[in-house]
Each structure stands twice: as structure tokens, then as C-alpha cells.
Structure 1
Amino acid sequence: MEHSGPFEVTGTGAVGPHPQMAITMGFTAFGKKARTFDLEAMFEQTRRTAVERSWKTLEAREKGEEMNGKKQLRKQIEDVKPAPSSSRAVRECSKPLSRDSSSRDGEDSSDSSDDEFFGPPLPPKMVGGPVCTGDEDILSPLAPSLGEEGEEDDDDDSEDEAEEENLVLRIPDSHEITLKHGTKTVSALGLDPSGARLVTGGYDYGVKFWDFAGMDASLKAFRSLQPCECHQIKALQYSNTGDMILVVSGSSQAKVIDRDGLEVMECIKGDQYIVDMANTKGHTAMLHTGSWHPRIRGEFMTCSNDATVRLWEVENPKKQKSVFRPRTMQGKKIIPTTCTYSRDGNLVAAACQNGSIQIWDRNLTVHPEFHYKQAHDPGTDTSCVVFSYDGNVLASRGGDDTLKLWDVRQFNKPLFSASDLPILFPMTDCCFSPDDKLIVTGTSGHRGCGNGKLVFFERRTLQRVHETDVTDASVVRCLWHPKLNQIMVGTGNGLAKVYYDPDKSQRGAKLCVVKTQRKAKQAESLTQGYIITPHALPMFREPHQRSTRKQLERDRLDPPKSHKPEPPVAGPGRGGRVGAHGGTLSSYIVKNIALDKTDDRNPREAILHHAKVAEENPYWVSPAYSKTQPKTVFAQVESDDEDWKHEPELKKRKI
């Protein structure tokens, strides 16, 4: 195709000068041409390089690891691996880039403008070497990160595997502190969700509050009260928000108090003369235990000797929310001994005196969803049922000295069972560790006949992995807090112990053991109380005491206030001070006058000895009344037989 104009269109679409025009003017082109690249070959080279690097790294790591995810990744990489037919394009891309041959005609090889091109500059990776762009950046984390971070992951995995093999290392029992609640059994423990305050209750009807951040090494409670008068405390539990405490005692009415011990509400007592307990507004017999709902604020549950489990709301203390009535297989009433919520709050579980465990849906109160009639021996009180943190496993502490695990999804037989765990108290606890890999419970023992212990079991097999001697009495309550990673224990001799590990535990007991005990002020009696007189004249107004320490220092410099007390006087005494015989004037008089036995005469005879002299020579009283004193006239004495005849009529005796 011929062109008559001075320009022509080349094969690449570029517009250049006509050859005749170029010969006439003496140059071949207007400036430099832009470089042309084969983009398909460049992308192919990039993808191939990145895939080969990732492939080599995965092959090296696959020998020591069995990870299904990485095998799937390897399979995906095999699918993306380039075909052999593309090797020609890769070889062409690997050659050094050159200009088009049509642009070399008439050029000078020594032109200094060879390095100048039109368009934006190329990235550094594309100059003078193989091209690796977008695909390498996407897949590059597989290559370096798998090589560098893989070693760290291997170390972490090995440490985790070693710790899993030795579960004893997870138990925080290297250190302990002892809180003295009283002299009787500590039957209730409660710890708020943040782990700042601990509350203990016992058979002495008392409830004590302990603040870890406010205590020093003396470990004294900051508040003590009796919320239920003369009823033993059965259970204490903080709400999920930590602002209320559920108090379950031996009475039929549960109470809710706030963090300072003030009463918030008290459940109403039901009518004990109604046969159907579902028609009463509250419990009619002694309570056993209670529990807060894990997610709904203000809802809690109690179980009682009236054979019911009742749900309550704090806002409505005059009537329960719903009633669950445990029954035997024959439809008879049975008393629940303990109850609890599931972790999500959808299930309500209760253990009964006939050894059965019954689980209801929280919204369906008629028939239980799960019922196992011989979970423990009949006639024994199951002391505790608790759900695991994943909600699939239920642990029960039976009165037949056993601990059993149940799968809620297949509630037809126990998963595992452990025996030889003595129990003497109807509220002995069991609980799961925060990582759900251990179960801990307490054992009982008579005083002087053995030690109470904390026994730790592995959850998967219920094998006994560790034991800790607590005291020479029974271990009644145990609580493993998930945030603090500390274990609280209540014993039968009035002690509450806290086990912790300085490295694995957080806050809690670690806050108070480092504080020194406060010393009592010795010189407080020397200071004089400050009297506030706002309307006094300036000349009579006392200066304001800004610091007690400074006042003590000034009193120490005052000789009268800082005068040392004088020692007791030995001997007869001097300077107006009485000698030793007690050190007081009264003791001196008693010793020297009242107890003087030099005169052994009769006191009456000694007084009458002066009667004759006083009559003959009166000196004190008689001379004053000598002129006005009347003569004494005495009544005539007659015989006793005739006295009654001469008595006045008014004085005669009444017969």
C-alpha cells in the first residue's frame, strides 16, 4: 500500500516519516522510539519463579509436619504449575531487551542519549534481570515466611506439646495464702468476675468480704455481717456483672445483697399448706444451693427441700418466674440437692436424692429433656454438678465418693468415673480448669484422721494426675477463677486458702502478699484532739492541724507532753508520793490503818468505855440542849399475857 504523504504507518502502528522524506532531510526518525515489551512472557516468567520458590519451600517443610491445610495448598500449587510448552516464552523473556531493528538505521552507537526513553521509568526489578512483579508479591509470603517463622512455630508447638504431656505444670499451686474466716466450716465461696473481691460464708452464720487490692500482709477482712441471722450459709455467688451477690442459707428465703452487704431483695416464702408446689409463690422448706444465669442479668435459680427448682428475677421478689418439679420414673416427688445452669443458659440441670440427674430446657418446665435415673447411688446427696466451658461435658460429684463425667449430647452412660474420693459435706465442689483440660475436686477427712486434699484429674481420661495436701480437715469448697488463674479453697476448720503461681497467675493474691503490714501508731495518746470553732475570735482560734506526723514531732519536743512516767517509789515514799504497797493512797491507807491489828479490843466495848465520861461531863451535844431538852418518859413494861388486852383497837391483829 503506497502513501503519498510525508509520513507512513509502520507494522507496529507507529507513525514515522516517509523514507524519501527521511533521505531528503538527513535523519530517520523524529527523536527516540518507545521501548516495546512482551508482557505475556514477562508475566509468565514472574508466575513461574514464584511458584517454583513456593514449591521448594513446601517440599522441605512437608517432611516434618503433618498438616492437612498445607497439603491442600500443595495440591493447589500443582494445579497452577506451568506447562512445558511455555518454556519457549520464558526463554525469550529471559533474553536482554533490545530496541527494534527499524530504529537502528542511521544511528550513532556513541550517542549519549541512548538511555533516554519515552514514557514512565520501569520498576527496579524489571531492569537488567528476570521480571517478577505482582504474582511474586502475592505468593512471596509463602517462601520467606515459611522458612523463617516456621522455626518459631515449631518451637511453640514443641513447648505446647511438652506442656500437654505434663499437665501438672498448668496447676498454679506453688504458693498459698491463708485467710482466717472463723472456727467453723467455710461452706460457701464467691469471687467476682474481675477477681478483685472474695466473699466467704460458713456455719457460723457469718459472711466476710476480702479485698485483694486493699489488704496488706495481715490478710484481714474489711467487712463482716450476718445477712440471714441464725441460718448457716449454703452458697454465695457473684452475678455476671459483679454488682450483686446471691446468698443461699438454711432458710427457705434466698437473699440478694450488693457489693457492700446491703440487702437488695429477699425472695418470698411460699404457702406450706398447698399440696401442689407449682401453685405457691416461693419455697416452703430449707434451701440447698443457688446459681446466677450466666447471660441474663438479674435472673437466678434456687433448689429446696420442697422438691422444686425455682427461677427468680431480682425485679420481682414476690413470685418466682418458673418452677421445675423433679420426679422419679414412677412420678413421685424427689428432693433436688444441687442445681446449675449450662454455660449458655439454655439448660437447667439438677441432681436428686435418688441418685438421678435431670436436665430441662429452660423454657420447658414440664418434662426433663435428659434424665438418667442411676447416675449415683440412691440415698446419697450429690453435692455438685457443673458444665464444662465448651458446654458439652457435665461433671457430677456424688455422695457415693465418686466423680463422674457425662456427655450431654449422648446422655445414656457416663464417660468416665473416679472413685475413692471421701465426702462428708453436702456442698463439696468440683470445677473445670480455665483451659478445660483438668478437673479439680476436694476430699474430706475427720480432724486428726487424715488430710483434706485437692485432687486433679485429666478431663479426657479422668486419670488422677496430681494431689495437693490442704489441711488436716475436710476440703469443702474449691473455685478456679479463669482470669486470675488462682484456686480458692474453703476448709472444714474455718480457713480459706488461695493457691497461686507468681508466673502463671494474675493479680488476686499477688497484690496483697507484697504489701507490708501496717504498724499501729504508738504515740496517738500524746496528741490532743483538734476542736473546730469556726466563729471563735482569731486570738482564741487554734491553728489547723494539717499533718498528724508533724503534730507528733512537736509534742515530742514539748517537755510536759513528752515527760517519761516516773517509776514506782521504793520504800516509805518521798516528795508527796506514797511508797510501794500498790502505789496509790487508798492502798496505803488499807495497808497501814485499816489492817492495823495493834488494838485487839471489841469495838462496842471501846465505844462504851467513853459513855460514863460523856454523861458526867458532856461537851458536844448535851450542853446545847440542856435547857430545852424535855424529860424522857418511857413506857411501862407489862406482862406478855395481858399485852393483847390493852392494845388499841386499830392495832389489833386481823385473824
Structure 2
Amino acid sequence: MNVKKVISFGKIKTDLTKHASASSSSTVEGFGTFSKQISPNNYTDINEINPEDEEETRSLQEVMGMTSFGKKAKCFDVQEMLDNITKTVRTSKSVHSVPALVEQNHKLENASGAKEDKTKTNDNEPSSLVPLNTNPLNPSICKQTNNSDDDDDEDEDGNDSDDSEDRQDTSTNKIPCSHEVEMHHGSKAVIAIAADPSGARLASGSVDYDVCFWDFAGMDTSLKSFRTLQPCENHPIKCLQYSTTGDVILVVSGAAQAKVLDRDGFEKCETVKGDQYITDMARTKGHTAALNSGCWHPYTKEEYMTCSQDSTCRIWILYKPRAHKNLIKCRAQNGVKTIPTTCAYSREGSVVACGCADGSIQMWDHRKNFVNTSLLLRGAHKPCSEISSLSFSYLGNLLASRGCDDTLKLWDLRSFKSPIFTANDLFSRYDTTDCMFSPDDSMVITGESLRKGQSSGRVLFFNTKTFDLVNEICVTNSHVIKTLWHPKLNQIFVSCGNGVVKTYYDPKKSLRGAKLCVVKSHHKQKHIEIMSTQQIITPHALPLFRQDRPKSVRKQMEKDRLDPVKSHRPDLPITSGQGGRVASSGGTLSSYVIRNLGLSKRIEDDQDPREAILKYAKDAAENPYWISPAYQKTQPKTIFQSENEDDGPSSSKKQKT
């Protein structure tokens, strides 16, 4: 006997003996089922297609003329694509590359025709062929086909030479040097220049201890600085640099203390000077010898670094100038001290680099303690010749160094053992001659001092890939010391040994900067023109015909100044007095009021006030004017209380009248 097994929970029950399909179709009492019912149309059976069936289907479609229905392979117009490719080719290419392009077009046509025939003959086969990626807007196809052909080696060599010429032309066109502006700092060499990140202002420092501030938006064609000051007294200005925000500027001079100024030249802070009698530099809070260079951190706006003749490099915080944050000691190969002549941060601020007097380049990791170097290269430049500048590329892989051994070297930080390129015979007279990268890292710029017998100093541009001399600018008949290519303005600032700061720009490629001031006309001051006439001296002439002697303007101004009417002189204060009063006429408020009431008689302040009042007592009794007429109607007769001495003390009650 089969007993049905039923499991029930409340009003929900199920029968375990029924099939799943039957249970799904059976009615359910109570609340129904908790799970979602699966519709029978959610899945389809996948039937495998055999190659024989597919071939039979294709043959049937050909017999019935239905091959054109359905999906169709794309057809490409090769001639139109080749025309588009030729349009994208640069117009600056020479005519020699045209025959190679024509041959390449014929090859593409033949290859495309052969592939079309092949696709037509293989219609019966499965369509597993993929069309070529012949995008008409992608010129890289031409390069790939040229590289795949082995018969056109000579044409490729010619194209490569043309491309190198085009690269030189394009790199030359990138240099904004079509126009120039000359600004005069002074008569001595300008060995430091700095521009703020926005490009609104320029600062220049010289060996004559002056720092000049130039505002491009406020200057006119006279090109005069709006402020000149001596922040470090009698010390030459060696380095200037604006912070990343542009609100303050770091001033490094020949003194042992660096200063930070605001945009208007007012001092914000000054680093502390160390104790020069302590040999261990780690135990002093500041530098003890003259500074050489300094720079700001590229991202931390309060941090800056200075290096000094005391063989140390110190990192400071802007609002904590009483002690350094970190100390770096530069050591030579034998372990003794060596002097860091220049210092720099990497573009991301993770590396601190110093160029030393022994010709070595030493680097430390900013994220670790500054004990051991992360990169060290001895003999990067000649020993006993100062390294005047270190500059990191914007991408951060390259490093350029300028030395007083008349060389400019380019280094790869990934293989920091030998320089990639070296440029020799670049005379440098000043130990602040620098080098820098162009904004796109395609060129390295440096200045050359004036040799004996030469006529002008030059700014040199070297290609970073080949280190060929791309361009040179003859600046002036003096030394070229500092160069600065501003990335936002796209203008080049050059400081010279004769006190001149030159700005090179292009009206089409450059923005703001010097373009703002060259269009403003200079308004001259109006000068007073005096016509000189012939003077006839007649000492005995009558007063009517006598001529006054000509007086100078200065004497006439002095005479007018003494005239109280012409000079609008205010009333002089009362300085003298008598009788305990301020002057005889009276300086008190009451005397001033009495004088201005229009009284006929003047009151003398020197009298006794009681006597002055009693003088009018008789007149007031005979001719009453103020008080007596007011009481005539209400009190015609005055009554006074009588007191008798015999009666004793008077009572408080009033007498009856």
C-alpha cells in the first residue's frame, strides 16, 4: 500500500511523489510559491551546424539567386583611400618623396586587387578572412608598407634625411625669437633672473646688490622697473626664484642668510645664521658661510633649499626660519668635505641633487634620511671646476649639467654612469651660468660668455635626441649668463654681463608678457618752456618804464611760500600769554563767545570777576531789564522774613500774612 508523503507547513504543503513538472503545474493552496516561475521560452536548443549543411545551403542560395541577401562584405574604394592618405602627408616634405609615394600607391592597388580576386574565388569557402585595416586617416600604414618592402631602401634613406631636415626646421620654428625687447637693469652683470609662474612679473638681480622688479602689465615702451631695492645690503645677488604659487620670492646672496620677499619686495622672513666656531655643521641651526644657490620645492610651497660654502645643503620651512628642517653634508671621494655649488629638486620633488666643486653630482632621496646618496657620480665634470647649474627635464628622465670646464652634458638617470651627449668649448666666465630644457623637452638651452676677440655672446639651442646645434642667437656684445624659457608665456629671457635683460618673443606664438608693454605708448612729461628776451638795463629810468629783473622760478616759489594768501597758510597757534591766561585777548571758550556776541564793550579777562559784576549793580538797580520786570505783575512788593534775636530760634512754620 503506497502512502503519499506530504510535507505541510501551515497552509503550504507539497507532494514529494509528484514530478517536478507536475508539481509546477498543480495548484497551490495558501500564499503560493516563494520562488519565481521559470518561463519555458527562456532557453532554446543549440543545434550544431555541420560544414556539409552550410555548403549545401550556400549552393541552394546560388541556384535560387539569393546570395545577395543577408550580410555582405564591405567594399573599400582603394583610390579614395589613397587620395585621403596623400592629403594627410605634410606639405613641407620635399618633392623627392613623391615618386616613392606613387610607387607605394601602385603596390597598394595591386595588393588590394589581388585580395579582391582572392575573395571572389573563395566564395564557396567559409568567410574567415578579415579585411585590411586601411583607415584613410591613419598615415602609419604608409610607414608599415615602406618598412615591409625591401626594394625601396634608397628611397627610405632619402625620406629619413628629409625627415631629419624637417625636424630641424620644426624645432627652429618652435623658438620664439622673431622679436626682442631690451630692459636695462644697471651697468653691471645681471647674474640672476626669475619669473613668476603666471608670467606677470620678472625679477633680476645683479652684482651691484640691486634687485629690480618688472611688471609687464604696468610697463610702457620705456621699460622701466617699478621697484629697485637692496635686500641683502652689500652682497651680490646670486640666485632668485619665485615659489610655485608666485606670492613670495627666494633671494640668495653672498651672505650666509637667505631672505624671502613678497611680490612687492617686503621681507617675509630671513634664515638664521649658524655659529661659525662649531665644526660640526649638524649642531648649528643655519649656514656659517656664503650661500651659492637655492631653489623652491616644486609641490610643497613652504619648503625651499639652500647650499653654502660651509659644505652643507639645508632644507627650510618658510614659517620656521629659526632652524633648518633637514641637513645634507656633501662629501668627496676621500671622505672630506666638498662645497656644493648648485642644488636642484627633481620635477616631482622626490630627488635632491647637488653639483659639487670636486666635479661630482650627488643625489638623495627626499623620502628618506639624507645620509646615503641614492645616485652618485664622481668625475661628472673636471675636478676643481664648479658645476654652475643642474636642470631636470619636464618628463624627469634626463638631467642637464653646465660646468665651468666649458662643457654642457646630458645625462640619462636610468643609466647614470656616462653622459649621453657632451658639448665642449662653451666658454663660461660666471659661476652662475645655467642651462635648462625647453617646455617640450626637445631642446637644451644654455648661454656662452664672450671670448677674447669675439663680438657677441650667444644663446645656444641643442637637440636632446641628437645634441646637434639647432639654433643660436647673438644677444649682445657681452656675456650671456642666465637663460629662462617661460612655458606659459613662450618667451625667452636672457641676462647679460652689461646689465641688460633681453626678452625674445613671437607675436603669434607668445602670450602676454612683453607683448603687453610694447604696445603702450610712453607719455612724456610736459616741460615748461621759457622764452628768453634781450634785457636792456636802464638804472636811471622812471618807475613807469623800468623793467623788473627776471627772477628764477625757485626764488618766486620761495617768495610765494612766505605769502600767507598765496600759500593758503592756516592760522598760527597761540604760543604766548600773560597773567596766567593764554594771550591777553583771551584763549578760553567763554572769552571767544563773548567776543563774538557783538557786544560794544570788551571784557578784559585780567580783571577780578566780582568787581566786573558789581560795576553794573547800580545800573541794574536803577534800570532793571532782565529779572525785575518779570516779577512786577506777580510780586510787586518783596517780603522778607524778619528774625528776632530775642525770640530764640525761629520756628519752621511760615508766618501768616
Shorter-chain TM-score: what band?
Answer: 0.5 to 0.7
Contact 1:447 1:472 in 2 (8 A): no
How much has 1:385 moved relative to structure 2?
0.7
Structure 1 Cα separation of the partners of residues 68 and 417 of structure 2: 62
The corresponding residue for 2:471 is: 466
Q: Structure 1: which 4+ aligned runs deviate by more than 4 Å? A: 41-47, 54-66, 85-88, 149-154, 157-163, 446-449, 573-584
CA contact (8 A) 1:335 1:353 kept: yes
**What is the rounded CA distance, in whole Å, between the counterparts of 2:274 and 2:380 in structure 1?**
31
Instruction: Check 1:263–1:577 CA distance in 2 against 1; reply closer, same or farther (3 A cut).
Output: farther
Are residue 316 (structure 1) and residue 282 (structure 2) matched?
no
Q: CA deviation at 1:279?
A: 2.1
User: What's 1:510 paired with?
Assistant: 515
TM superposition shift of 1:566: 7.7
Aligned to 1:52: 75
Q: What residue number does 2:194 align with?
A: 190
- For residue 464 of structure 2, what is the amino acid of its counterpart? R
Which residue in the other structure is 2:216 paired with? 212
Instruction: Confirm or deny that 1:165 pairs with 2:168.
Output: yes
Q: 1: distance between equivalents of 2:66 and 2:257?
A: 82
Query: In the alignment, does 2:340 pair up with 1:336?
Result: yes
Preserved contact between residue 427 and residue 451 of structure 2 (Cα < 8 Å): no
The equivalent of 2:535 in structure 1 is 569
How far the C-alpha of 1:442 sits from its partner, in A, is: 0.8
Amino acid at match of 1:445: L
**Hey, what does 2:446 align to over in structure 1?**
441
How far residue 298 of structure 1 moved from its aligned partner, in angstroms, is 1.0
Cα distance in 2 between the residues matched to 1:401 and 1:169: 28
Amino acid at match of 1:475: V
Per the alignment, in what secondary structure is the counterpart of residue 405 of structure 1? strand
Provide closer, same or farther for how the CA distance between residues 422 and 571 of structure 1 changes in structure 2, counting only shifts above 3 A.
same
Within 5 Å, which residues of 2 pair with 1:21-60?
Answer: 48-49=72-73, 51-53=74-76
Q: How far off its partner does 1:500 sit? A: 1.1
Selected match of 1:264 from 249, 264, 268 = 268
1:465 positional shift:
2.4
Q: Give secondary structure in 2 for the equivalent of 1:383.
A: strand
Is the 1:569–1:580 contact (alpha carbons within 8 Å) kept by the matching residues of 2?
no
- Aligned match for 1:361, one of 355, 365, 373: 365
Q: What letter matches 2:168 in structure 1?
A: E
Q: 1:332 to 1:86 in 2, by over 3 A?
A: same
| 2: CA distance, partners of 1:328 / 1:520 | 61
C-alpha distance in structure 2 between counterparts of 1:482 and 1:305, whole Å: 32
Counterparts in 2 of 1:454 and 1:567: CA distance versus 1, 3 Å: same
Percent identity of paired positions between Structure 1 and Structure 2: 46
- Tell me the secondary structure at the aligned position of residue 314 of structure 2: strand
Give, in whole Å, the separation in 2 of the partners of 1:153 and 1:436.
Answer: 28
**Aligned-partner residue type, residue 408 of structure 1:** L
Deviation at 1:450, TM superposition (A): 3.6
Which of residues 494, 498, 507 in structure 2 aligns to 1:493?
A: 498
Residue aligned with 1:48, SS: coil
State how many pairs are aligned.
Answer: 440
Match of 2:564 in 1: none
Letter in 1 for 2:192: A
Structure 1 residues 568 and 446, CA gap change in structure 2 (3 angstroms): farther
Contact 1:163 1:170 in 2 (8 A): no
* Residues 412 and 448 of structure 1, relative CA distance in 2, 3 Å threshold: closer
Shift of 1:567: 3.1
Distance of 2:500 and 2:545 partners within structure 1: 53
AA aligned opposite 2:458? K
Q: Distance in 1 between matches of 2:346 and 2:81?
A: 44
Q: Which runs of 5+ in 2 are unaligned?
A: 1-64, 87-99, 105-111, 143-158, 553-657
Shift of 1:59: 8.4
| 8 Å CA contact retained: 1:447, 1:473 | no
Partner of 2:295: 291
Distance (Å, rounded) in 2 between the aligned partners of 1:354 and 1:494: 31
8 Å CA contact 1:569–1:578 kept in 2: the answer is: no
1:417 to 422, 426, 429: 422
RMSD (CA atoms) = 3.8
Which of 221, 224, 241 is the matching residue for 2:245?
241
* TM-superposed deviation, 1:363: 2.6
d(CA) in 1 for partners of 2:281, 2:69: 82
Q: Give yes or no for contact 1:572–1:580 (8 Å, CA) kept in 2.
A: no
Q: SS of the residue aligned with 2:72?
A: helix
CA shift digits 1:235-257 (9 cap, x unpaired): 11111111110110111111111
Structure 1: runs of 5+ lacking an equivalent? 1-40, 67-73, 89-138, 526-563, 585-655
Q: Secondary structure at the match of 1:414?
A: coil
Kindly provide the CA deviation profile for residues 250-298 of structure 1, in whole angstroms up to 9, marking residues without a partner as x.
1111111111111111111112222221222111110001011111111
What SS does the corresponding residue of 1:168 show, helix, strand or coil?
A: helix
Structure 1's 86 and 47: CA in aligned 2 closer, same or farther, altered over 3 A? farther
Matches within 5 A, 1:395-410: 395-410=400-415
Report the CA distance between 1:224 and its aligned residue: 1.1
The CA deviation at 1:161 is: 7.7
CA deviation map 1:369-428 (0-9, x unaligned): 111110111111111010111111111111110101111111111111111111111100
C-alpha separation in 1, matches of 2:248 and 2:379: 36
Decide whether the 8 Å contact of 2:485 with 2:493 is kept in 1: yes
Preserved CA contact (<8 Å) 1:294 1:345: yes
Determine the C-alpha separation between the residues in 1 that align with 2:509 and 2:489: 9
In 1, are the aligned partners of 2:168 and 2:470 still within 8 Å (CA)?
A: no
Deviations 1:489-545 (A, max 9, x none): 11111111111111221111111111111222457x9xxxxxxxxxxxxxxxxxxxx
Deviates more, 1:193-202 or 1:165-174: 165-174
CA distance in 2, matches of 1:271, 1:510: 49
Supply the distance in 2 between the matched residues of 1:488 and 1:195 (Cα, whole angstroms): 11
TM-score, normalised with respect to structure 1: 0.61
Q: Tell me the SS of whatever aligns to 1:297.
A: coil
Q: Conserved in 1, the CA contact under 8 Å of 2:409 and 2:421?
A: yes
Where 1:282 maps in the other structure, the secondary structure is: coil
